[in-house]
Amino acid sequence: MKLLSPMLAAATLLLAGLAQAQAPEAAPASAPASAPAQPTQPSGPKVDLETSMGTIVIELDPEKAPKTVANFLKYVRAGHYNGVIFHRVIDGFMIQTGGYKADLSEKPTRPPIPLESRNGLSNQRGSVAMARTAIPDSATSQFFINVADNVGLDQANSRDGQGYAVFGHVVQGMDVVDRIRAVETRSVSVFQNLPVKTITINKATVER
């Protein structure tokens, strides 16, 4: 496979981030495991994502990703995720949401946060990480759920040496995630992996 030059690759990723809403870099597809990865000490707050295809429950890790978790919870409690769609779905890679409404208009966001990718958490199947542009400290509201072991997105293995910050993992509803990852997608304007049938987060709430 022919690789892009570092400068061209960075420009391409930045354009993808602007057009595809902070998209994580592509990684080789791998077969999904039978269950999501579990952290060694699950003890964080849980967030319920009530989607149009079922409920996904995410457990957060404030100990290892304190700034990312605090930022995510602010968006949840403010109702930001209510009505957003899954705008980027790539089977064998990840499903992404958090930034766009059904009419493909972008929701306003808070200022970007520092990248917490050096926290020891890995982009394994079932993990939840923040999306960003080519700029490391650019994550705002968008996040993705890994549907395969995407360790190439970890800081230690990433192309840019920065990686993507994992801040939680799915504890319920991985079957819902798998249904979403398998839907038919199409290209619409700058959205290259948009589900043909709109998939919406109807409501996001903090359990505790």
Q: How far apart are CA 26 and CA 24, in angstroms?
A: 6
Domain ranges of the chain: 6-206
pLDDT tens sequence across 117-150: 999 999 999 999 999 999 999 999 999 999 999 9
pLDDT tens sequence across 51-99: 999 999 999 999 999 999 999 999 999 999 999 999 999 999 999 999 9
CATH fold of 6-206: Cyclophilin (2.40.100)
Question: Considering the entire predicted model, what is its pTM?
Answer: 0.83
Please list, in sequence order, all residues whose beta carbon lies within 8 angstroms of the beta carbon of residue 69, skipping any fewer than 6 positions away. Answer: 44, 45, 60, 61, 62, 167, 168
